[in-house]
Homo-oligomer: A and B are copies of this chain.
Amino acid sequence: MPPEPPEPEAAPRARGGRPRDPGRDAAIVAAALEVLAETGYERMTMDQVAARAGAGKATLYRRWPSKADLVVHAVGQIGDTPVLADLPDTGTLRGDLVALMRPQTAEDDERLLALTGGLASLLSAEPALADAAGAALVEPFVASQRLLMERARDRGEVPADADIETVALVTPSMTAFRLIVQRQPVDVPHLVRLIDTVVLPALGLAASARPA
């Protein structure tokens, strides 16, 4: 076990010595996520991560005791991306859902789902990782959908008895399927069609209500 400071928080540097460079943490986590998305957990090697981060392996293991710990921590960090912070508010559910796919988000989603693909084989092997991945990767995605739909319900646009819990999974599920299984790109027209032909009708909004 590494020489953990006895005090759990705000570890007062025991005594002299070069302090840890917090910038290395960020570089390593970023490199880990990149390699993870590109090659998947099993094929990702610690040497790759170290090289990509411009770090030595010792620097990695000084911070995380194992590859699994590094990945769990790195995946957990993603949740901080403030997807939920600035949700669109256009007045209609369709407007909100379409606005949700601004380019930045589309790239984010693609990266997120590449990560999910890289982790997929682990989801059935490492419970801790499965939880971390679920919470950090897919839950914010689903939650943003759910929030927009609940808001539409609260303002009377969507029937009160709509099964939002289920419908909020449609876009995440079908996007993941398209990216990971079908290996086809997710572009805006595709997402718009998904919204108009599946999501909105499932919420009781006639497909004909969409603009031409």
Contacts and interface: CB of A to CB of B under 8 A. Distances in A.
Nearest to A193: B166
Interface stretch (A48-56, A85-93, A199-207): A199-207
A11 interface: no
A66 interface: no
Given A118-B124, A198-B202, A174 B181 contact: no
Nearest to A164: B197
Total identical chains: 2
A39 interface: yes
A116 interface: yes
A172 B182 CA distance: 12
Interface on chain A toward B: helix, strand, loop, or mixed SS? helix
Interface string A83-126: 00000000000000000000000000000001011111111110
B125 A43 contact: yes
B177 A130 contact: no
Contacts of A201: 201-202, 204
* 4 nearest A-B pairs in the assembled complex, by CB-CB distance: A120-B120, A173-B177, A42-B42, A40-B121
Given A130-B183, A173-B173, 14 more contacts: A40-B124, A43-B121, A118-B121, A120-B121, A121-B122, A123-B183, A124-B180, A134-B182, A167-B197, A167-B198, A169-B177, A173-B174, A177-B177, A198-B202
